[in-house]
Structure formats: structure tokens, C-alpha cells
Amino acid sequence: MKNNYHSAHHRLVVLSHIDLPIAGVLERPEPRAVLRGCWCLLMAHPENTAILHTVKTLYRHSNADVNDGLFREEQLLAPLLGVLASPLPKLIEIFIYAAATLKNVSTNEGNLRVMIKAGALETACALLQLMHSPEVAGIAQERVTQLLAQASAFLRNLCSDLCLLPTERTNLRPLVRVLPLLWNSSHADVTFNGARILRFVGLRQFDLFAAVFWLRAVHWLRAVNCVICAQAMVAENDYPTLLLQPLRKPSIAPVRTKPLISKNDDPIHVEHPPGLVIRICFAIANLIAANELARHRFGEAGAVTVLCDLLSRCADTFLDSLTHPPAATPVVAPAPTTPALSGLLDARPRGGPGFADDSSPGDVLVKVVRVLANLAINPQLGRQLAGSDVVLHTVCRLLEDCPVERHEELILNLTALASNLSYHQCPENRFLSPGPRLASLLVGGLTHPNPELIAETARVYANLCRIETHRTMLRAMKVLDMCMLLLMHSDPEVLEAVAGIVINYAQDQVAAAFLVKEGVLTRLGEVLDDMQVHSPDLALTVCRAMYNICLHGQFALTPPLLAQLRGLLAALTRGSCHAGA
């Protein structure tokens, strides 16, 4: 009997026996029985008051994660999507509760698959476009904002796993068209959900799919491990500008906003999330990390000016938070029977990492520094950043005031930024200007236990060593003595970075003589002995260092070193032959 009742055909038979106004089944304690009753009510197409009562009941049950699978098993997902696809009702709360319910249950992968197959992506996008149309002119603005928050959060969840998206380009066009509406929203939660969508795009590394968010002319192309393939289409908006626009005046510190939903008229306060800046920076960093064209596009959109100003303000906020820590404030839980304002105040945690916003000023600052470090790879943008007194002053101030023991991730990213900027040789590069401030602030990185930080610090010193005044300064600071010790390190990246210092330091005869006196040739030979063909890049760097030392004609390799080099050459030759075979 249970199986028959579970089928759609037998449920429809039951509909004729249900008295909608007194459908007491909705008050039963068993979730499955309640959900079955809700299905019957929705399929009967009752009047608006009954629908509102039904979707409120479904929302209440969607707050428990154990019920997620029941929504799929009881075939409620398609009817709920049908509610959102219907004409705008007089009771806008119907849409609010239906969208909130789908938002809650859409963190279940099985539900996601069913909903996407049923056209959930198009439904959510169409609803968001409807909310920006003249049809909502007569509806209270706070209700429209509530619905936008719920619908954008639902769309965010749908995009949380891009491998579930369909392959047809007609199903993906709405996502491209609707994102500008989220970015231009006056409500922080809606914009925040737009940033999360971009974060998911970058996080899944669908590079060609992600390109739609920043290119004017977009082509849907086939990519490795990516099933998205379609004909060319043109994006109507400049996504680099849209991504950068919220960063021009970011709310780095939390700001109270007017509560829109309350429980028994008690206000629920929503804070403007600092995570908005984090997710925008996360999306930008993923887009430009290995894509020179993307860096160029963001440069054209004014990224250097925007991010330099943002870096300065984020640093001020972060350093102020170290001096004046914010007082702890109690968290007010949302009403369990009322939809919360998007994922920021979910009635229960949904979707795992990245859905809660407890971002600190330090988290924001790290992401901004990381974006700048990626931008600095571009020669033109790197020279612009390197020529900024604001960037140099901010980097030095943070290195000075933030002990690495407490802020290791920040110091690592600051050092990487200094490494990328000091690489560019141009007269206006402030990171290569005379003076020991930057070099002295970084010296602690050479003795840190984190090999990544050691390697990044060594890269900065390698860049500085190209200038004679800096070579003299680093010798006086005993940096070269530490480098001699680091040539005994076990990490190949550290050894390669330190060998880079030797390459650049040995440019003149006096410096080369000092290195030979300190026994650098012997140390480099030991590195070759230990690594050999296991790290060809390291072996090449070590050989270049030896070559620069011997280039001056006064220093010759000893017979044992020559024998090592011959053996290395033979091993590399054999290795390449085997690889070719």
C-alpha cells in the first residue's frame, strides 16, 4: 500500500478526497506524511492562502538536513519549482518561502541533480529577472529584497558544483545575463551571493567557462574535464569593471543594516559581510592566476588604482583591529519558521565550507595582497605597482607591525608580492630603490621553519642582488652567511631560490671572490650530489651559479667538481634518452 500511495497516479486519486481548508495532515509529526500532504495540496492548485500555508510548512521542514532526501523522494522539487515559475502571485510571501525552501534543500547533491534536470537554473534566473522588472512596482520594496536574497542564494547553491550543470548553452545563457543584476543590487546579501557564484566558478577551475565573467566577447569552448561546449556568444557586460566596482568603496568593517524579517516583531540584525571583498578577490585571483589575457583585461579596467587604494584601507583596518580588538557581540539566531536573509543567516548551516561569514580584517587583507601578487606578474601592471609609494609603504608597514609568529599567511603573501614586484627592472621601481628598510624587514624569513617563506624571501634577495648597492648592503647584513647555511637545506625550492641569489650576486668580480672564499662552490657541488637528476631545474640553476662565478676567469672548478658535472650531464642525457624511448 505504501508503494502505491507513493506513486504520482495514486496520489492524484487521493486529491479528490482532500478537504483543503482542513488538511490536518500538515500538522502531523511525521515529516514524510507531512511532505506527502504538501505534495497533494500543491498538485491540487489551491487558492493563494492554502499555497502560502503549504510552502510555510515545507520551509519549516527544510530547516532539518535529515529531511533533504525526503523532498526528492516525495517528488516535491518539481512542484516547488513550478510555484516559482508561475505568474507573480498577490501574496509575494509564497515566492519568498518557496525560494527559501529550495535554497535549503539544494545543498543536497541528489536534489541538485533532480532540480537542474528540471530546469532550476532557468527558473531561478527568470525569477531574479522578474524581480527587476516593472511587474514588481506595486510590491513593498522590503518584500522584493527578501525574495531577491532567497532567490540569489538558491542560484548560488545551484552553481556550487558546476559539473552538474547541463551542456546546452541555452541553459547557461540566463546565468550570464542575471549576474549583473546581482552586482548592481543595493542589498549586500544579494551582491554577496553573486560574489559566491563567481567564487565557485574560479574554485572549480573551469577556466574557459570562467572567462564569460570578464570578457566582452565570450566563446563557449571545450576544456579538459569540462563538458560545457557551445557556439560563440557575446556577453553584454564588462565583467572586470563589475568585479572591481564593489571594491572601490568596500565595507571592510561590518556595518549594521535594517532588519527585514523578524520573529514576533523582534529585530534580527544582519551585518554587511567583509567576506564580500574576500570572495570578489578570490574570484579575481582565480581568473588571473595563470591567464595573462585576464590580467591585461583587469589592468584595462583600472585594477591597479582600485586595488592599491583597497590595500591601503585594508591595512589601516587590519592594524587598527590589532590595536583595538572588536568587542564580542551576541549572535541572534533567526526564526526557525521564517526564511532568513540568504545564506548569511541560515536557520542551519548549509553547504559546508565557505557558507559562513566569520571573515576577519586579516582574511580580507590576505586576499587583497594575493590578487596584487598575481597582477604583478604582468610586466606593465607589475611596473605600475612597483612604482607606487603607497604599495611599498603599506608592505613595509605591515612587515614591521605584524610578527610572523602570529600572521604567517599574511607575511608569506606580502613576501611573495615583494618578490614579484622587485623582479621588474625599471627606474621607477620603488622596491629596488636604495635603502635597507625592505631588506632588513624580510631577513627573518630566511630563518623561519616554513620552506615556502624561506624560498619567497630568497627570491626577493636574488632580485635585489642585481644592483651593486644592494649587494654591498646584503653582505653587511650577513644575508650571504645565512644563504651559505641554507645551501644545506633539504627543500629543492629553497635550494633553487638561494642558488638564484648566488647567480645574481656573482655578477661582479669582488662579489664572486667573496663567494669563493666562503666555499660556495663546494656547497653547490654538494647540492648537485644530493639532487642530481631528481630535480633538473635545480641542477640547471646550480650550474648557472657556477658559471657566473667562473665567468670572471680567476676562479676555476676543481677536478672533483668537474667530475660531478660530467656525471650529471651523463645522467641527464640517459634520462632524456629513456624519456624519448
- DSSP annotation of 226 reads B
Residue 75 parent element (H or E): none
State the CB neighbour count (10 A cutoff) for residue 447.
12
Asked if 515 and 506 count as a contact pair (C-beta separation under 8 A), the reply is yes
- pLDDT tens series, the chain, 581 aa: 344 444 444 444 444 444 444 355 566 668 888 888 888 888 877 788 888 888 998 999 898 888 889 999 999 999 999 999 888 887 889 999 999 999 999 988 899 889 988 888 889 989 988 888 888 878 888 888 889 999 999 988 888 765 555 544 445 667 767 777 776 677 777 877 776 776 565 444 333 334 444 332 222 222 222 222 222 222 324 567 767 777 775 444 433 333 333 333 332 233 335 666 777 787 778 778 777 887 888 898 899 999 999 999 999 989 988 887 665 544 444 443 434 333 323 333 333 333 334 568 888 899 999 999 999 999 999 999 999 999 999 999 999 999 999 999 999 999 999 999 999 999 999 999 888 889 999 999 999 999 999 999 999 999 999 998 898 899 889 898 899 899 999 899 999 999 999 999 988 888 888 888 888 888 888 888 776 556 778 888 888 888 888 887 677 777 777 777 777 666 666 655 444 44
Residue 237 grid coordinates: 557586460
Phi (first) and psi of residue 117, to 5 degrees: -65, -30
Q: Residue 209: CA atoms inside 13 Å, Cβ hemisphere, count?
A: 29
Separation of alpha carbons 32 and 30, rounded Å: 6
pLDDT at position 88 = 82
pLDDT at position 28 = 66
pLDDT at position 250 = 43
Among the listed residues 445, 436, 538, 527, the one whose alpha carbon sits nearest the alpha carbon of residue 488: 527
State the CB neighbour count (10 A cutoff) for residue 433.
16
State the CB neighbour count (10 A cutoff) for residue 273.
23
The β-bridge relationship of strands 256-257 and 233-234 is unpaired
Among the listed residues 167, 156, 73, 69, the one whose alpha carbon sits nearest the alpha carbon of residue 109: 69
Asked if 204 and 156 count as a contact pair (C-beta separation under 8 A), the reply is no
H helices present in 160-273, as ranges:
173-183, 188-203, 207-210, 239-248
Asked if 460 and 415 count as a contact pair (C-beta separation under 8 A), the reply is yes
pLDDT at position 359 = 65
